[in-house]
């Protein structure tokens, strides 16, 4: 294998990508494409934990039921049962490779907590920094494995398929990818027998988000351009409780605070969630986010508050050490005062369509984690099912790849820059990025209308034409690649939202406030591509 040729090229370095790499590396040569560095991913910032029905008091059927209730009638029943039935096995894999989950001091069993939408204590965690602990452990193993090559500061531009390069094959087949080396500013051609998209979600399309800057929908956009079907892109999960702070806009306040008794309150200390749902503060995220949004608009508030100060100070500091310190750094002592919070874009429930093995409708192309639509989350993801999904489908994808003997030695075309020049100014990129995120927040946010969606689509079409011209005429940069992808994902979100003539889960339309009797997925098929 030369340096640009791998058995498996994994694009993305969150839990989905790293877990898949480790499960394949003993038998395959692996390349991991990482936009910045290995620690920069949504997985790294996941505070809550991993949901798994492992307690004797928690039957698997209960976890399945909670997932389906949160999913508002759109969870794929077979997939949901499969994932939940494999939750203990997924958790055991992490424990076996050395991830040190928080345990009960008296019994030495895993300390299980609870989040919104869960009827039982079933969230395994590492204090309040579960994602960070898992990622740091996996990264050590990744960096020490001889069959894994990590390409930091590289960003994928596009996937190379047989249809794109007009190569005759029985079915559209993924053969490689164009990758920009950010440091050298050169686009290289990578050949691979299998490509795994593990690029995460697209929440940076919104003005306010809990996600890191790398969450720009790259895998969804690349998959769509390559010919992948996408589904349910209208279901964007807004986390109810993001810290309201000018200097710390992306800091998520974990749902486990409410699981441990924190209450959402108005500035006067009045609770309000009991007006919206019998489960109160432990209602699923869509209900809580909509309730907060309504209360803020009704009273003209800039935020609401999350109050856990009634709990003992030592309990708060031990259970939530990172949140306690981060808030303290902002002048908020959560043992004595409530935390100002607002909803923020958090998770993309739709994505490129995959089967139980993570396969897309393009041969040799897989999608794992938030980039994918598996049918697990339905119209709203149940808290802490995301890391679980990454682990379960990393195993099924790895098994599929190991059992597949496809290989190729086709010479792939080089990236053509012969007709482009250096960009004279990049102000277009900055201005377009800001405009896109702002009108997506205003027009395609928690509450939607036909008029808002129509306005958003009109703006997207105009901006896409402008950016398309820029893309054709100038040398590309990581900022331009991300903007192009965000515009594509924004269009998919809006088109899917227009298609859904009802309100369900995370999609609430004032024009269609009630759910249909029959729940259906919104499936979009790329034009000019055969199945």
Catalytic residues: 285
Q: Which of 286, 238, 230 is nearest to 492 (CA)?
A: 230
How would you class 199 by CB atoms within 10 Å of its CB: exposed for 0-12, middle for 13-18, buried for 19 or more? buried
Q: Which of 102, 88, 112, 109 is nearest to 134 (CA)?
A: 102
Question: Which residues on neighbouring strands pair with residue 523, listed in sequence order?
Answer: 231
Cα separation, 194 vs 56, in Å, equals 40
DSSP state of 412: P
Cα separation, 434 vs 439, in Å, equals 9
Find the distance separating the first CA and the last CA of the chain, reported in whole Å: 32
DSSP letter string, 214-257:
T-S-HHHHHHHHHT--EE-TT-EEEEEEEE--TT-TT-B--THH
Cα separation, 274 vs 254, in Å, equals 20
Is residue 343 within 8 Å of residue 356, measured between CB atoms?
Answer: no
Structure tokens at 40: 């920069």
Q: What are 328-331's contacts with CB under 8 Å, separation 24+? A: 330/243, 330/245, 330/247, 330/248
CB hemisphere CA count around 30 (13 angstroms) = 30
CB hemisphere CA count around 318 (13 angstroms) = 9
Q: Which residues contact 232 (CB under 8 A, 6 or more apart)?
A: 74, 349, 350, 351, 373, 379, 496, 521, 522
Is residue 206 within 8 Å of residue 345, measured between CB atoms?
Answer: yes
Place of tokens 């993801």: 381
Q: Which of 252, 334, 338, 266 is nearest to 304 (CA)?
A: 266
Cα separation, 457 vs 449, in Å, equals 12
Is residue 180 within 8 Å of residue 164, measured between CB atoms?
Answer: no
DSSP state of 34: -
Cα separation, 320 vs 333, in Å, equals 12
Place of tokens 């790293």: 18
Considering only the C-alpha atoms of the chain, give the largest distance between any 2 of them, rounded to a whole number of Å. 69
- What are phi and psi for residue 227, nearest 5 degrees? 120, 10
């Amino acid at each position: 294998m030369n340096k640009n040729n791998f058995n498996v090229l994994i694009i993305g370095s969150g839990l989905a990508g790293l877990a898949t790499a480790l499960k394949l590396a003993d038998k395959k040569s692996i390349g991991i494409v990482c936009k910045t560095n290995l620690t920069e991913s949504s997985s790294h910032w996941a505070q809550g934990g991993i949901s798994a029905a492992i307690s004797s008091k928690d039957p698997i059927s209960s976890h399945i039921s909670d997932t389906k209730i949160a999913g508002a009638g759109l969870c794929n029943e077979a997939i949901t049962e499969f994932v939940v039935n494999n939750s203990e096995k997924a958790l055991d894999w992490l424990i076996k490779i050395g991830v040190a989950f928080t345990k009960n001091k008296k019994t030495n069993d895993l300390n299980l907590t609870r989040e919104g939408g869960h009827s039982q204590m079933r969230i395994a965690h590492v204090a309040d920094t579960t994602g960070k602990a898992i990622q740091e452990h996996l990264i050590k193993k990744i960096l020490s494995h001889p069959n894994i090559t990590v390409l930091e500061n590289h960003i994928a531009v596009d996937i190379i398929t047989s249809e794109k390069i007009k190569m005759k094959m029985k079915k559209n087949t993924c053969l490689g990818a164009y990758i920009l080396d950010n440091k050298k500013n050169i686009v290289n051609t990578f050949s691979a027998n299998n490509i795994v998209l593990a690029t995460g979600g697209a929440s940076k399309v919104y003005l306010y988000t809990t996600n890191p800057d790398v969450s720009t929908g790259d895998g969804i956009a690349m998959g769509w351009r390559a010919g992948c079907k996408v589904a349910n892109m209208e279901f964007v999960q807004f986390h109810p409780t993001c810290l309201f702070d000018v200097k710390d806009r992306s800091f998520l306040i974990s749902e486990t605070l409410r699981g441990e008794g924190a209450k959402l309150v108005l500035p006067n200390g009045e609770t309000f969630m009991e007006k919206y749902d019998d489960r109160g503060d432990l209602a699923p995220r869509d209900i809580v986010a909509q309730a907060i949004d309504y209360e803020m608009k009704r009273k003209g508030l800039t935020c609401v508050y999350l109050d856990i100060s009634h709990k003992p100070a030592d309990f708060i500091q031990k259970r939530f050490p990172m949140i306690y310190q981060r808030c303290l750094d902002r002048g908020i002592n959560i043992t004595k005062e409530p935390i100002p919070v607002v909803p923020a874009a958090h998770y993309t429930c739709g994505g490129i369509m995959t089967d139980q093995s993570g396969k897309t409708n393009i041969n040799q192309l897989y999608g794992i984690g938030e980039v994918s639509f598996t049918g697990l989350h339905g119209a709203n993801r149940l808290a802490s099912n995301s890391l679980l999904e990454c682990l379960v489908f990393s195993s099924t994808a790895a098994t599929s790849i190991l059992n597949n003997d496809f290989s190729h030695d086709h010479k792939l075309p080089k990236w053509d820059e012969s007709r482009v020049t250096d960009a004279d100014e990049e102000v277009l990129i900055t201005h377009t990025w800001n405009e896109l995120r702002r009108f997506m927040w205003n027009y395609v946010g928690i509450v939607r209308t036909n008029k808002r969606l129509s306005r958003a689509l009109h703006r997207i079409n105009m901006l896409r034409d402008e950016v398309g011209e820029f893309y054709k005429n100038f040398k590309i940069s990581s900022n331009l690649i991300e903007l192009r992808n965000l515009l594509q994902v924004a269009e998919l979100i809006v088109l899917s939202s227009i298609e859904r003539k009802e309100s369900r889960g995370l999609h609430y339309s004032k024009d269609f406030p009630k759910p249909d009797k029959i729940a259906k997925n919104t499936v979009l098929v790329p034009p000019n591509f055969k199945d």
